[in-house]
Amino acid sequence: MIPLALKTSRPMLKPGILNFGRSLRLMPNFSKLKPIEQPPGFIVETVNEAYVPPDPDAYEGSHHWIYDRIITTAMVPLIMTPFVAGVDYPVIDATFSTLLLFHCYAGFKSCIIDYIPKRVYGVWYGAACKLLTLGTFVAMYGIYVLETANNGLFELIKSIWSV
């Protein structure tokens, strides 16, 4: 009589033989990297369902546009002062460089929101936002080095134009 434990429907593997069926199951799941399928016309429920607006977000909503306009307006006199008046203040240079960085951050964030929407790309939206934040911090460090080790952004522009 053969014990029940030895009666199996699958063949037992010999030591040293690779089990390809099992190794394929250990592969990572890349399905979360694919775009999320959208229903036709982006209609989630039925056409007759009431529209549910997203929760208001001060930074991502209309205030974002207002902040961007305020920063852009503040940059106009800051860019003209060193070239027109010949004044070389490091505070003006550092303020302009920082405002320019925030202006670029807001512009690229708007591009990410428009062209890599979270509802379609999921993981890639988060990766793009994190990469933008990393680049902004690297640029902040670059502004710090430019302001402390050299004479600042305006001096760099003057040296490029004078060559």
pLDDT of the chain, 163 residues: tens digit per residue: 555 555 555 555 555 555 555 555 567 777 778 887 877 776 666 667 777 777 777 666 667 788 888 888 988 988 888 878 776 788 888 899 999 999 999 899 989 988 998 888 889 999 999 999 999 999 999 999 988 888 888 888 888 888 7
Which pLDDT value is given to residue 47?
Answer: 67
pLDDT tens for each residue of 101-114: 999 998 999 899 88
Which pLDDT value is given to residue 10?
Answer: 56
User: pTM higher than 0.75 for the full model?
Assistant: no
Gyration radius of the chain over CA positions: 28
Which pLDDT value is given to residue 9?
Answer: 56
32 vs 142: CA distance, rounded Å: 35
Grouping H, G, I as helix, E, B as strand and the rest as coil, residue 15 is coil
Q: For residue 26, how many other CB atoms are within 10 A of its CB?
A: 6
69 φ/ψ sector (left φ>0, alpha ψ -120 to 50, else beta): alpha
112: Cβ contacts below 8 Å, ≥ 6 apart: 125, 128, 129, 132
Which pLDDT value is given to residue 150?
Answer: 82
**For residue 44, how far is the Cα from the chain centroid?**
26
Domain residue spans of the chain: 14-163
Cα-Cα-Cα-Cα dihedral sign, residues 84, 86, 89, 90: positive
Residue whose pair of structure tokens reads 């775009």 in the numeric block: 35
| Whether domain 14-163 has CATH 1.20.1300.10 | yes
